[in-house]
Amino acid sequence: MKHIVVIGTGGTIASRWQGAGYAAEAAGHEVLAAGAVPEGVEVTVRDLFTVNSSRLTSAHQMELLRTVHEVLADPAVDGVVVTHGTDTMEESAFLLDLHHDDRRPVVLTGAQLPLDSVDGDAPGNLYDALLTAATGRDIGVVIAFGGFVHAARGTVKAHTLDVQAFADPSGRPLGRVKFGEIAWGAPRPRAAALPLPDPGAQAPRVDVVMHHVDADPVLFEAALGAGAQGIVLVGTGAGNATPDFVAAVRRAVDAGVLVAVSTRVAAGPVAPMYTGGGAVDLAAAGGVLAGTLRAGQARIAVLAALMSAEGPGERAAALRRIIGTAEDRTPAVA
């Protein structure tokens, strides 16, 4: 028997109708009872918290990170499944993956349809996640959803409502679940795991600011005024903004703030192609180009860099190391 621990955190997979909308309320054993467990798998359920994932805080994510490591400290555990809301699943998955150094997998899953829906997607997703956790090895932290297994890095929620909710716009899935088995493609390279944050460490403030037509650095400066130690600037195109943003980034970096530059475009890397306020100038001002990481995961990368290094130079170097493997998007599964 394979022993899998399911950690419940809420989300749509644990949601029921509240009279004016859905909200997470079901305990982990209720979620588990909604579907079948793969043959040869025994499950222990651990309820951590029960919230819609749009309400998650960094404190929630740090608690989840510590709990996953506590569970994996038991050699009798063969894998971990985390039931999670889809809104911020990509962020939690990436954070867990950055700190994951274990052959045993951690698999996040959830649902697009609430627990009490007729023909909902919760049972199938949970079955696939348990199968992945029981049989996968050396895959890091992954998302099992809609019949596919996705690497945490680079995977985003790609549709608000469709049951095929997740994709890596710049790459391919790691595997596909077919007839109760997983067809694996080529593995992805993974960076060395970061050390766990110290117990009780407080996550610093990291904000996201988007560039658009007529945008100025007012909101960027407001984030600095609110105490942000890190900022993700979401540029247009290949990571472009304006000369005013370049000046704001330079002032922020000079003040010790860690700045990453992502893009609002769905696929492709940030690239230093343009001047006049583009990624060439933003990088010269000290912004770290975020590769293929989109806003949510770029923010997690900044957060992790801030918590794993001391001093502006060391933190920027840590962020570059975290982003370093983001460019590898070798197709894995047809």
* CA-to-CA dists, residue 314 to 4, 43, 53, 285, 298, angstroms: 38, 42, 32, 17, 17
Indicate whether 106 and 150 sit together in one domain.
Answer: yes
Q: What would the pLDDT profile of 44-75 be if each residue is shown by its tens digit?
A: 999 999 999 999 999 999 999 999 999 999 99
Domain membership of residue 195 (yes or no) is no
Q: Kindly state the helix (H) or strand (E) to which residue 91 belongs, with its residue range.
A: helix 89-98
In a domain, 83, yes or no: yes
Mark whether 12 is an active-site residue.
Answer: yes
Same domain, 149 and 256: no
Residues 234 and 165: their CA atoms lie apart, in Å, by: 22
Catalytic residue among 50, 67, 86, 263: 86
Are 34 and 120 part of one and the same domain?
yes
| Residues 74-113 pLDDT 10s | 999 999 999 999 999 999 999 999 999 999 999 999 999 9
Q: Does residue 334 form part of some domain?
A: no
Q: What is the pLDDT of residue 333?
A: 42
179 lies in the same domain as 42: yes
In the predicted model, residues of the chain with pLDDT beneath 70 are 325-334
Same domain, 172 and 217: no
CATH number, domain containing residue 286: 3.40.50.40
Classified as helix, coil or strand, 237 is coil
**Residue at 333 is within a domain:** no
Instruction: Give phi and psi for 188, each to the nearest 5.
Output: -95, 145
147 conformational bin, left if phi > 0, alpha if psi -120 to 50, beta if neither: left
Query: Per the structure, how many domains does the chain have?
Result: 2
Query: What totals of helices (H) and strands (E) does the chain contain, helices first?
Result: 9, 16
81: domain CATH number is 3.40.50.1170
Output the pLDDT for position 334: 37
Residues 109 and 237 in one domain: no
Do 179 and 68 fall into the same domain? Answer: yes
> Residues at the annotated binding site for substrate?
53, 86-87
Same domain assignment for residues 163 and 53: yes
The reply to whether 57 belongs to the active site is no
Same domain, 80 and 210: no
Question: Could you tell me the residue range of the domain that residue 120 belongs to?
Answer: 2-184
103 domain-assigned: yes
- Give pLDDT, residue 35: 87
Distance linking the first and last C-alpha atoms of the chain: 31
Rounded distance between C-alpha atoms, residue 37 and residue 123, angstroms: 9
| Helices within 136-189 (DSSP H only) | none
Query: For residue 227, with 0-12 CB atoms within 10 Å meaning exposed, 13-18 middle and 19 or more buried, which class applies?
Result: exposed
Domain-embedded: residue 194: no
Asked whether residue 192 is assigned to any structural domain, the reply reads no
Catalytic residue selected from 12, 83, 109, 292? 12
Identity of the amino acid at 199: P
> Domain for residue 198, yes or no?
no
pLDDT of residue 187: 85
User: Does 24 share its domain with 167?
Assistant: yes
Domain identity same for 42 and 156: yes
Do 174 and 237 have their domain in common?
Answer: no
Q: What is the pLDDT of residue 331?
A: 37
